[in-house]
Structure 1
Amino acid sequence: MKRKALITAAVLGGWVVSAMAQMTPEGLWRNVDDKTGEAKAEIRIAAGANGVLHGRIEKTLVSSGEPLCTECTDDRKGQPKLGLEIIRGAQKSATDTLWEGGRILDPENGKEYTLRLTPLEGGKKLQVRGYIGPFYRTQVWTRVE
């Protein structure tokens, strides 16, 4: 009886840890084109030093024309879009489900936005919101299993 209880507790504990681990922006995400609704790219978000997040384009799913970030104005200018770091500096806020304070780059137009990331639906989706002043643009990315 004790053994069965221990096994049950271990399984349930594993589910809880797995679910909690998913409530983070870390992982592989698929974004969609705002205009067409088609899957556009896969972005890998990972934590670096002190839990600061960064994200790179790991895979492109549609041809977007120019393979280089010609519109970028910083150190990413002229760099290949594949492998390009588009998320920099996001940190976990005081709330458990919000990461902010970083920047996100749109490699199509070279614009950089203040960033906020919020996991949704138990971590299956990620709300990605970029701000310029009072204006913002929001996308919902889907976790790639």
Structure 2
Amino acid sequence: MKLLHAKSALALLAGWTLSACAWAQLTPVGTWHSIDDKTKEIKSEIVISEQQGQLTGRITKLLRAGADQNARCTECTDDRKDQPLIGLEIIRGAKQVEGKAVWEGGRILDPENGKTYNLRLTPVEGGQKLEVRGSIGPFGRTQTWVRVQ
């Protein structure tokens, strides 16, 4: 009888642990590969972190074949002007929508054109992918980034 209770408790604990791990993945916090819309190749690695309830994201690696590892954000017009792409903060200020696995209210920078866009981040597929939506008013586009394991 004790063995049956121990197995039940272990199964319950394992189920709770798996649920907690799945919930932990329903966040943009982590390391991601951005994917080129046209070629479908990996462009860069971005690390998203949370500081005081707000998300920030930085490019940590340029992964596109032939990428200039010393490239700078020459098109940027704010404090990121001429800053190196590696280490560049491209996500600022997104906050979680209360009760949802969605982060909004921040801005995302496209370092290729120097423009910033309103941002919405939505983890999908159990947190293994991230829908990254940049928009101006009703116009925008969504990229899907892939979590780095």
TM-score normalised by L of structure 1: 0.94
CA-to-partner distance for each residue in 1:80-115, whole Å, 9 max, x for gaps? 000110000000013412110000000111000000
How many residues are treated as equivalent by the alignment?
A: 144
CA-to-partner distance for each residue in 1:16-48, whole Å, 9 max, x for gaps? 000000011111111111222111001111110
Q: Distance in 1 between matches of 2:36 and 2:99?
A: 29
In the alignment, does 2:74 pair up with 1:57?
A: no
Partner of 1:33: 36
Q: Distance in 2 between matches of 1:48 and 1:75?
A: 20
Q: Which runs of 5+ in 1 are unaligned?
A: none
Choose from 47, 50, 55 the match for 1:47: 50
* Structure index of larger Rg: 2
CA-to-partner distance for each residue in 1:105-138, whole Å, 9 max, x for gaps? 0011100000001111111111000011221011
In the alignment, does 2:86 pair up with 1:86?
A: no
Measured after TM superposition, the shift of residue 64 of structure 1 is 4.0
The equivalences for 1:1-145 within 5 A come to: 1-49=4-52, 51-62=53-64, 63-65=66-68, 67-145=71-149
Q: Distance in 2 between matches of 1:22 and 1:127?
A: 14
Code of the residue aligned with 2:16 in structure 1: it is G
Q: Which runs of 5+ in 2 are unaligned?
A: none
104-113 vs 94-103, which moves further: 94-103
Measured after TM superposition, the shift of residue 2 of structure 1 is 2.1
